[in-house]
Amino acid sequence: MIRAKVIGTGSYLPDRVVPNEEIASQLGLTSLRIQRLTGIRTRHWAGDHEAPSDMAVAAGRRALDAADCAASSIDAIILSTTSPDMVFPSTACSVQRGLGCRQVGAFDVSASCSGFLYGLSMAQAMIQSGQAKTCLVVASEVKSRSLDPQDEATALLFGDGAGAVILRGEEDRSPEWRGILGIRLYADGAHHGLIRVPGGGSRTPLSPVRVRKQEHTLRMYGASLFRVAVRRIEQAVLEILKEFGVCLGDLEQVVLHQANGRILSHVADRLGIDQGRLASVIERYGNTSSASLPIALDDAVRSGNISSGNLVLLGSFGGGLTWATGLVRW
């Protein structure tokens, strides 16, 4: 049986580090108050010269290096972003050019913070159907440019960054299968208004009036999103564990979307996951939207918290409302 296996991970964070003090001065808050609300001390913001494609190329190169894989061997590029370089063409095509890959399929996925797992599911399907053998799945976000610096609900949360994995199809005849065991995707459009950028699409094109009203910036109903997200991800985690006959105690590491520290702690408490098995980079990087899961995954791999044979649970949730879970044996 062909298994889609993660053979390399990589990530990239911009050089500019933005501490809470810089955010607090515009919101009338203290840096300690921001940390208590979010679990965040610092986040990284892209420089003026950096676009999501640049960061995706850097993260992709690091994943290729970790996999000992040449760019020429990539058969498909799937890129998750809600902050693309431009409306079209796709940011993935710029990544294909930047990495020097062959003229392979490259496309973007827009599923908000769940986009990385949506993309990983597509890559798995391509591999198992025989369309591709090796895929680059990357998430890259520049959220700092869509923030209203005076909006407390969003200004203190978001950072920029990119994370990537190399997925390869390999024959697996071992009694304990390795690779992606399963990914489950969900959406509920009834909650699409909980987090969004209201202006800029063809329904509400940007105009001077809409810009003056800040409709080009990110808006979020944090409390409502918190409640819905926690319920949805908890239920989805329990369902995938039951489906594959896995107990929480079997998991070596749990890697969730790094929305904020309170949500991470709340989900972990409700599920009974101890902090030692919960990957967390929220304190250093903030919420990097769809890039947060692969960034946290790369950090866990490089720090030695994930190694060969480990069972790893992945989970994410975001605008749409979308959410997803995945189970991987490393």
Tokens of 220: 């979020």
Q: How many residues does the chain have?
A: 330
Q: How many CB atoms lie within 10 A of CB 108?
A: 23
Q: What is the largest CA-CA distance in the chain?
A: 62
The residue type found at 297 is L
Please identify which of the residues 44, 257, 260, 305 carries the catalytic annotation: 257
The residue type found at 241 is L
Cα–Cα separations (whole angstroms), residue 144 to 24, 85, 173, 297? 15, 13, 46, 22
Cα distance between residue 291 and residue 311, in whole Å: 21
Please identify which of the residues 20, 260, 287, 305 carries the catalytic annotation: 287
Please identify which of the residues 93, 113, 191, 260 carries the catalytic annotation: 113
64 conformational bin, left if phi > 0, alpha if psi -120 to 50, beta if neither: alpha
**266 assigned to active site:** no
**257 assigned to active site:** yes
Cα R_g (the chain), whole angstroms: 19
Name the residues annotated as catalytic: 113, 257, 287
